[in-house]
Amino acid sequence: SKSHLHHFRVWRGDDEKGEIVDYPVEVNEGEVVLDIIHRLQATEANDLAVRWNCKAGKCGSCSAEINGRPSLLCMTRMNTFAEDEPVTVTPLRTFPVIRDLVTDVSFNYTKAREIPSFTPPEGLEPGEYRMQQVDVERSQEFRKCIECYLCQNTCHVVRDHEENKEAFAGPRYLMRMAELDMHPLDAHPNRAVEAQEEHGLGFCNITKCCTEVCPEHIKITDNALIPMKERAVDKKYDPLVWLGSKIFKR
Ligand code: SF4
Ligand code: F3S
Ligand code: FES
């Protein structure tokens, strides 16, 4: 039908305490879950906290869990649920809750800062960078990342294991290391082994849950993590391969 009352259940509270609150709410044709959250703010739950910006799947702000599935609120259409199927919206589970649906995602900023940035070869000025189209294309996919952190939230290595957070950069930042490792002009030595030994690549047992939730459909596991694992092993156990890779980069 064009409009109906839907059973919504939304987590209300902070990091100390909270509960799931039931709301009957109007749903119209063509709406997404974020529309319904906004309707709740405008009606029964004026103080409901939610983070969003673009409503177009591009800013990565509206990440949450819908019926337990990590998703973007703005890209989840209401017509994917039956009219009598309750829709439960909860905050990302891996990060501390600030209030209601808003989590503190600073774990990700910390991890981003820990990765050595792009390191151009000595003596090459920015205007002199030249790359082959094929090398540009190889990492194009990874640059589609909108930093929604759904992959970081989903990976089982940290999802229920606070103790692993210190040692594990998470799929998004391991992918960033893989992107730089593939960059023909990057002179930072041995990124793959560094990812393995210092950023927790070894924790990843390629379950691909990260890939499944990525709204940009980036093949995180197949195209970034697995190839980097292979290069880490090659380089570590074969000093000639490692030396060769350094020489070819110059
Ligand atoms: Fe989100 Fe995909 Fe980027 Fe992970 S890799 S932060 S799931 S866009
Ligand atoms: Fe985690 Fe993705 Fe690896 S979910 S275990 S980083 S394949
Ligand atoms: Fe920007 Fe959902 S509001 S991705």
Report ipTM for this prediction: 0.99
- Percent of the chain whose predicted confidence (pLDDT) is above 70: 94
**In contact, 13 and 100? CB cutoff 8 Å:** yes
Q: Is 157 in the pocket of ligand 2 (CB under 6 A)?
A: yes
207, amino acid identity: T
- Tell me what the pLDDT averaged over the chain comes to: 94
Task: Tell whether the model's pLDDT for residue 248 goes beyond 70.
Answer: no
Q: Which residue carries 């960033």 as its tokens?
A: 176
147 CA to middle of ligand 1, Å?
A: 5
Cα separations (Å) of 101 from 47, 89, 93, 197? 11, 8, 10, 35
**In contact, 25 and 57? CB cutoff 8 Å:** no
> Which pTM value belongs to this model?
0.92
Q: Which residue carries 């799931």 as its tokens?
A: 20
Q: H helices then E strands: how many in the chain?
A: 10, 7
> Closest residue (by CA) to atom 7 of ligand 1?
214
> Closest residue (by CA) to atom 1 of ligand 2?
155
Which ligand is nearest the CA of 210, by number? 2
pLDDT tens-digit readout, 21-78:
999 999 999 999 999 999 999 999 999 999 999 999 999 999 999 999 999 999 999 9
Which ligand is nearest the CA of 215, by number? 1
Counting ligand 3 atoms within 8 A of each CB, the residue from 31, 35, 59, 145 with the most, and so the one to mutate, is 59
78, amino acid identity: M
pLDDT tens-digit readout, 164-198:
999 999 999 999 999 999 999 999 999 999 999 99
Mean pLDDT throughout 103-110?
98
The whole-angstrom separation of Cα 244 and Cα 173 is: 26
pLDDT at 250: 44
Residues with CB under 6 A from ligand 1: 145-151, 172, 213-216, 218, 220
- Candidates 180, 183, 181, 189; CA nearest to 230 is 181
pLDDT at 160: 95
Task: Tell whether the model's pLDDT for residue 145 goes beyond 90.
Answer: yes
Position in ligand 1 atom list of the atom nearest CA 144: 8
Task: Tell whether the model's pLDDT for residue 245 goes beyond 70.
Answer: no
Q: Is 46 in the pocket of ligand 2 (CB under 6 A)?
A: no
